[in-house]
Structures are given as C-alpha cells and as structure tokens.
Chain A
C-alpha cells in the first residue's frame, strides 16, 4: 500500500476522471450484482441441502413420487412409525402449493395436526410475532414463516388466499431451517377439507429421531415396514429429500456458477481495461512524477491503489445493491413444495467486496508494472 499522505492523490485521480470512473465502477457493480445474486442462490442450495452432523429429521414420502400432488400416504402410518426404535416423534403433513412449477413466489401450505406439531417439531422454530394459542384455537389459523411473511407483506390478523386456501395469520415464526422460513403451517384437517375433502391422507411424515446415529436405521426400518403395503414409502434425511425433490432446479442453479465466474472475468477485464487505458493516457504524467522523485515502485503502488479503489467502489455498489434487493425481496426458488432461499447477508457483501478489491489489484498489476519499467526519457519522447 501507499503512505496515507499519498491517498488524496489517488482519490483525486479516481474522482476527477469522472466518466471513466462511473463507467468502470458501473460495469463492476453490474457484474458484482450478478455474481452476488448467483452466489446467494448457491449459498441457498447449500443451506437447504447440505446435511450436518446434528440433523435429526427424516422425511417419509411416497416411493417414486416427487410432487406433493402425487405423494399420498395414509395418515394411519403414523401409528406404525412411532413404534420404530429410535423415533422420538413424527408429524403427518399435507403439503399444498400454489404453483407446482419452479417459481420465485410459491406459497406452500403444510397441514399439521396441532397436538403433534406443538411438541418436538415446533421446537426448531422461534415465535417472532403473534400467539401460538390463537393458532391452536382457530381452525383456519396459519403460522407463517418469516420469509413468506416478508415477501407477501403479511402481518398478524391478515387473511391471505393462495391455492384456494384462505387462512388467518395467527403468528409469524423463524427457523434456521430454510423450509420452515418459506411456508405457512395450518391445521391438517382444515387443509384436507379445504383442498381435496379427503381426511386421512397426507403428503409426507416428518420424523424426528432420538439422535443423528438413528437416521439411517430409522429410514431403513420405515421403508421396510411399508415395502409391501399399498403405498410404499421412501425415507430420507430432510435435506437429502430437498436435494432430491429440487434436483432439476439445483442442477440449473449449479450451472449458474459459470455465470458467476463470467461476472468475475468481466470485473477483471473492466478494471484492467480502464487502468491500461488510463496508464497509456498518462505516460507523460507518470514520467513527470518520476522526474519529481517518485520511484518506480511508488508509481506501481499508486496505479494498483487506483485500480483497487475502482474495484472497491464497484464492489460496494454491486454487492450492496444485490444484498439489499435480495433482502428486501426475500426471494426463494420453490419447486414441488421445497424452497431454495437466496441466502444473502453481510458475509456475502464482504465476500463480494473482497473479491472485487482483489480483482482490482490483480487487474492493476500488469499495467502498473509496464508503467513503472519505462525509462523516463522514453516516456517523454513517446507522447
């Protein structure tokens, strides 16, 4: 880096070449906006699908079915599931979605019996606003995930309508599980009656096992128990289930990684181009500085710092704007009832800005080296 007293010199170069700075920083900001959005999707996939050692939730789904409309299991399976060794609790769940295709604004209802839900399953959630008792008392009441509430602008006491289901917002909850953040929990019988008027049929069971070591054995035991039944099951850890259910969407999101790399390459090219042009334009100026006693290394550092500032400016604008938009929009990609949230926060801003600064420095290295190695007299003759 350069000495503090030199900083105004670099800042003046950045602020007083206004058009160049605006164009470069604007380009970098656009690229970083896209990069951060892509990264937020990638982070969302990781959050929603990467199983941790502490996970204790299994999802029982109908074998060979991937859509909540086609996964139908008898509710009475619950009795058998609860007898399997290692199972701590289980919640039968009916899932209804407003749109079965991949979309940014899908409302997912999860119908759950209030008595089973209130125990272990609800323990992973935190009440942000409202009243759980009211949810228990009122048949059309919904516990709305924080992300869904923010996206739809829902408040306690609001009624909202999606997929033909009209519910009353009794409470807003948050959870470290992305799937809870983007759904509305309603009473199971209410949802069964409102949608297909079929009591006794659910989409899935969510099982909480006593410890992570039981995940495999319980999953195996459940599927073996119902292997010869009329509705065989497929049981997986919750995050593996999400990965399977949203496999197509995750593959597409994975592909966007290339878009992210392209954005970084664009940042490098933009800053590099601006600095190369700037250095070519200022050959005489750098020769004058050297004549005044600025050594080659200092000239290099001045150029690299300028390049760093351009990267920083664009990075702060782009990453900040991207995270702001994503936080404001609370977007989540939803398909077949599972959600992949855009996970964007301070860490991502810092990562984006850091990367932008790093690329700024890298982009400035070659032009800086070229500018500093030219003999002074050659520079004066060259222009």
Chain B
C-alpha cells in the first residue's frame, strides 16, 4: 500500500472574479521510502501539491490519504498535530528563526512532544551531528553560510523523526558545491534512514538525485519518469 495517495486532488481559490486552479484532479501514489522530485514551470502546481502533502494547505476537492488517513479532512488543530508527527519541511530560504541559535532552531519541533530535556538534548545533538554542524550549535543563523543554514533547517526537519520530508527548492538559493552537499545529505536521509522524500525543484540536475520525477503543467501531471538510481547523481556530481 502506498504511503501517499492522491485521488482527483484539486485545489482552487478565488482571485477577484476568477477561479484559479493550481491543481486539477491529480492522481498520484508515492511508496514509503521513495525519493520523488516535482518539476514544472512556475504556476504548474508543484508547490501547491507539496504544500497539500505537507498539510499546510488543504485541498478543495479530492482525497489526500497519507498512511491511511485522509488529511484533507482533518481540522486545523488536528492537522497541526499530524504535521508535527509526519512532516519535516525544508524551505528554499531556510526559514530559521533569527533570534534562536542553531541548537534552539533544531529543538523547536521537539518542544511539541512530551520529551524529557535530556532526551531532547541528545536528539538535537544527533541531528546536528548528522548534518555536520555539531560544532556550530551555538551559532545564530546570521553567523552561518547559506549552506550551513540549510543544513540546520534539514536537522530541524528530521529531529522529530517524521516519516516524510518535503523540500521546496532546497538548493535554490545555494551555490553549486553547497547545493551538492545538501543533495547528498537529503539522499543519505532517504537511503540510510528510509525517509520518504518529496522535493520541488526547477533544476534538472538536482532532480537527478531523486529516484522518480513528476512533471506538472497547469495543475496536471504531464510526465512521470524514473531515474536509474539516486546514487548515480551523487557519483556523477562528485
């Protein structure tokens, strides 16, 4: 059974007199542990689909069933609790809280769970170590490079051990070496920790890290393809 199932998933909103449909009757299945890249031109609906899967937006019609639960029908507060359990979100612009240190930023998702302080500390330390920033735990975002900020954001996304990691253009604001490092990290999380990874990207090279790519246009799925292996991109890049 697929971890994520979209059935005739539609998103509409009004802008003045016009009805905008960024996503139209989309059907999709994503297996647990998959690494999926969403590509397409601006306005094609890829970020809308990502936001729906992440539970930060709700569909107008259709079903979005994740791990057997129709998240499109959850109330706002239950959806928040669901996000805390299921989703780790990596943003293009990192979105770290500027007045918090790297450690404190990573700790944020854990504050929602009844975890003892000691265990919280251990989990934050492990996450920072995994992204290679254990020695920068007391640095504020302004004291970090773009790549380092994104690695802190990834640590924040994984620290609560979510099943799905969604990434919206995770390398869009980074130079090539930093982008490569970030993609290697995401690939490791997918392959070594078995996290289901869904990533939006404009960049075909970045998409090659994913095992499968979906192309969207005008809110519809236009093409679906599988890469040979995510590891191939890693090797090619290095």
Contacts and interface: CB of A to CB of B under 8 A. Distances in A.
A153 interface: no
A5 B111 contact: yes
Contacts of A9: 100, 104, 108, 111
Interface of B: 51, 54, 56-57, 76-77, 80-85, 87, 89, 91, 95, 97-100, 104, 108-109, 111-112, 117, 156, 160
Nearest to A375: B57
B108 A289 contact: yes
A98 interface: no
A136 interface: no
Contacts of A16: 99-100
A291 interface: yes
B57 A293 contact: no
B89 A291 contact: yes
Interface stretch (A189-197, A229-237, A294-302, A361-369): A294-302
A12 to B, nearest CB: 6
B99 A290 contact: no
Contacts of A252: none
Given A9-B111, A296-B80, A377-B57, 8 more contacts: A12-B99, A284-B95, A291-B54, A292-B89, A297-B77, A298-B80, A375-B57, A377-B56
Contacts of A291: 54, 56, 83, 87, 89
Interface string A289-331: 1111111111000000000000000000000000000000000
B84 to A, nearest CB: 3
What size tier do the contact residues of chain A reach? 20 to 34
B1 to A, nearest CB: 25
A296 B99 contact: no
Q: Is the interface of A mostly helix, strand, loop or mixed?
A: helix
A17 interface: yes
B108 A292 contact: yes
A292 B56 contact: no
A91 to B, nearest CB: 67
A293 B77 contact: no
Contacts, number: 65
B227 to A, nearest CB: 28
A295 B54 contact: no
A75 interface: no
Interface of A: 5-6, 9, 12-13, 16-17, 284-285, 288-298, 375-377
Given A292-B109, A293-B109, A17 B81 contact: no
A71 B51 CA distance: 86
A294 B80 contact: yes
The 4 A-B residue pairs whose C-beta atoms are closest, nearest first, are A293-B84, A295-B80, A16-B99, A376-B56
Given A293-B109, A293-B112, A376 B57 contact: yes
Contact of A6 (B56, B87, B99, B111): B111
Contacts of B82: 293
Nearest to A3: B111
A293 B56 CA distance: 9
Contacts of B83: 291-293
B76 A296 contact: yes
A2 to B, nearest CB: 10
Nearest to A288: B95
B152 to A, nearest CB: 13
27 contacts: A5-B117, A6-B111, A9-B111, A12-B99, A12-B100, A12-B104, A13-B99, A16-B100, A17-B99, A284-B95, A288-B91, A288-B97, A291-B56, A291-B89, A292-B83, A292-B89, A292-B108, A293-B80, A293-B85, A293-B87, A294-B80, A294-B84, A295-B76, A296-B76, A298-B80, A377-B51, A377-B57
Contacts of A5: 111, 117
Query: A6, A291, A376: which has the most chain B beta carbons within 10 Å?
Result: A291
A327 to B, nearest CB: 38
A17 B220 CA distance: 45
A290 B95 contact: no
Contacts of A295: 76-77, 80-81
Contacts of A285: 95, 97-98
A160 B97 CA distance: 64
Contacts of A13: 99
A294 B51 CA distance: 16
Given A12-B104, A377-B56, A294 B99 contact: no
Contacts of B97: 285, 288
A134 B190 CA distance: 94
Contacts of A288: 91, 95, 97
Contacts of B95: 284-285, 288
Contacts of B98: 285
Contacts of B76: 295-296
Contact of B84 (A12, A292, A377): A292
Nearest to B48: A377
Contacts of A289: 108
A292 B106 CA distance: 11
A291 B168 CA distance: 13
Nearest to A295: B80
Nearest to B157: A292
Contacts of B81: 293, 295
Query: A6, A298, A375, A376: which has the most chain B beta carbons within 10 Å?
Result: A376
